[in-house]
């Protein structure tokens, strides 16, 4: 696929949280695989996860003193304003040095200023919108973007995009499952579970864990799992010591699952938060979902994700306040042990799957790079 004569730089603006950073990394890595001449450059926030994650990937990057809008504590917004002034100057130097052909915004407070700078200086922008309820930054810049890549098709109705903006349901960029997928019986045996009978529940709350999910699981395991149910429980590193004692015949307790493919391969049903990347992976693996949204997520976007997937028939939405041992027993009866219910959920999850999203988005970006070549 043709690109500009000199190696084109593509600036990725996004971060603060992993949900905004990891999609950018997935797209950038795929871009370089498809066209090694492309040079990704990352702009993020000093206070975001990118400070620890970006050094592991080898891409050039710059971290700026960016802050979110402090809605509940308005008096703290002086930090946001002060950081924005300094970051704007730094961005000017960066853009003059890097001459980006395109800026890719992946959301969050770490992306807004870079997208604004690009827009005002005539650099084309595109957006990757991960959640079903787009955030403030995504909604504002959609009207100026060449293209918007949607992780959830429901987001299209909530974006006030411009007349010249192409809005494409690409799905969220993830590491796709292997083809063919691993044998489930063999995967169960690796975990020490019965290869053919019963049901395996995977409970995962992210690298930091989910306090509400862990507390409910602890009480559930303490009174005895329902017959035929096995559990792979990722507590999060910070919570592992408190729950490692629950390891027993049909329970495996781990601080974190990385890589997670071995767990996915053995799983019949997943109990998880409703983050955009988590749900994209579960759909790609065709796993029925019991989604317990993080109640403190910005603008309650995880609840919007869970409701969208429940409406699509791919998930069961359980608010965290309703997740109790009794509720888990009911779910065991109505989902875990009901093969037909699991099959329906799995079928609809696969219908939502977009495992090639990173490649599709990267291909569209490369097409834009070749087009902008003739307009620069």
| CATH number for the domain that contains residue 108 | 3.40.50.2000
Residue 4 is assigned to a structural domain of this protein = no
Q: Are residues 167 and 198 in the same domain?
A: no
Residues 153 and 271 in one domain: no
Question: In the prediction, which pLDDT does 161 show?
Answer: 78
Which pLDDT score, from 0 to 100, does residue 376 have?
Answer: 37
Q: 2 lies in a domain? A: no
- Of 259, 21, 285, nearest to 130 by C-alpha is 21
Residues β-bridged to residue 200: 230
The pLDDT tens digits for 283-332 are 999 999 999 999 988 889 999 999 999 999 999 999 999 999 999 999 99
Q: Do 134 and 216 belong to one domain? A: no
Clarify whether residues 35 and 165 are in a common domain.
yes
* Gap between the Cα atoms of 356 and 361, Å rounded: 9
Same domain, 190 and 170: no
Tell me what pLDDT residue 85 has. 62
Q: Are residues 136 and 188 in the same domain?
A: no
Q: How far apart are CA 197 and CA 249, in angstroms?
A: 15
Question: Both tokens of residue 262?
Answer: 């071995």
Tell me, yes or no, whether 204 and 94 share the same domain: no
The parts of the chain modelled with pLDDT lower than 70 are: 1-6, 67-86, 207, 371-376
Range of the structural domain that residue 232 is part of = 184-352
Look at residue 3 and tell me if it is in a domain. no
115 and 35, same domain (yes or no): yes
Calpha distance 273→192 (Å, rounded): 26
Residue 1 domain-assigned (yes or no): no
Domain count, the chain: 2
Closest Cα partner for 106 from 132, 83, 126, 136?
Answer: 126
- Do residue 347 and residue 279 come from a single domain? yes
Do 161 and 40 fall into the same domain? yes
78 plus 131 within the same structural domain: yes
147 and 203 fall within a common domain: no
Tokens of 329: 């027993």
């Amino acid at each position: 696929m043709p690109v500009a004569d000199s190696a084109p730089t593509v600036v990725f603006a996004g971060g603060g949280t992993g949900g905004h950073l990891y999609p950018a990394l997935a797209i950038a890595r795929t871009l370089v695989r498809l066209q090694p001449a492309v040079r990704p450059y990352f702009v993020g926030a000093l206070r975001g996860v990118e400070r620890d994650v970006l050094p592991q990937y080898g891409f050039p990057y710059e971290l700026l003193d960016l802050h979110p809008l402090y809605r509940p504590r308005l008096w703290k917004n002086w930090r946001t304003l002060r950081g924005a002034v300094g970051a704007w100057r730094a961005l000017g130097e960066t853009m003059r040095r890097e001459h980006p052909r395109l800026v890719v915004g992946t959301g969050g407070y770490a992306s807004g200023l870079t997208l604004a700078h690009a827009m005002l200086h005539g650099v084309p922008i595109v957006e990757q919108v991960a959640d079903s309820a787009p955030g403030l930054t995504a909604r504002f810049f959609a009207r100026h973007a060449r293209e918007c890549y949607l992780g959830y098709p429901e987001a299209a109705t909530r974006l006030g995009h411009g007349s010249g903006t192409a809005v494409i349901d690409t799905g969220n960029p993830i590491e796709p499952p292997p083809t063919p997928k691993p044998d489930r019986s063999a995967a169960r045996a690796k975990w020490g579970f019965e290869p053919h009978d019963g049901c395996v529940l995977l409970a995962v709350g992210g690298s930091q864990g989910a306090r509400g999910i862990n507390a409910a699981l602890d009480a559930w395991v303490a009174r005895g799992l329902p017959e035929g149910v096995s559990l792979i429980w990722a507590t999060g590193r910070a919570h592992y010591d408190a729950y490692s004692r629950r390891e027993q015949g049909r329970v495996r307790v781990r601080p974190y699952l990385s890589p997670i493919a071995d767990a996915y391969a053995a799983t019949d049903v997943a109990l998880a938060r409703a983050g955009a990347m988590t749900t994209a992976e579960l759909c790609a693996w065709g796993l029925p979902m019991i989604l317990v949204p993080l109640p403190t997520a910005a603008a309650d976007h995880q609840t919007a994700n869970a409701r969208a997937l429940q409406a699509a028939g791919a998930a069961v939405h359980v608010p965290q306040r309703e997740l109790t041992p009794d509720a888990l027993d009911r779910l065991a009866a109505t989902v875990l042990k009901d093969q037909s219910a699991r099959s329906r959920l799995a079928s609809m999850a696969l219908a939502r799957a977009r495992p090639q999203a990173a490649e599709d988005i990267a291909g569209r970006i490369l097409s834009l790079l070749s087009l902008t070549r003739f307009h620069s």
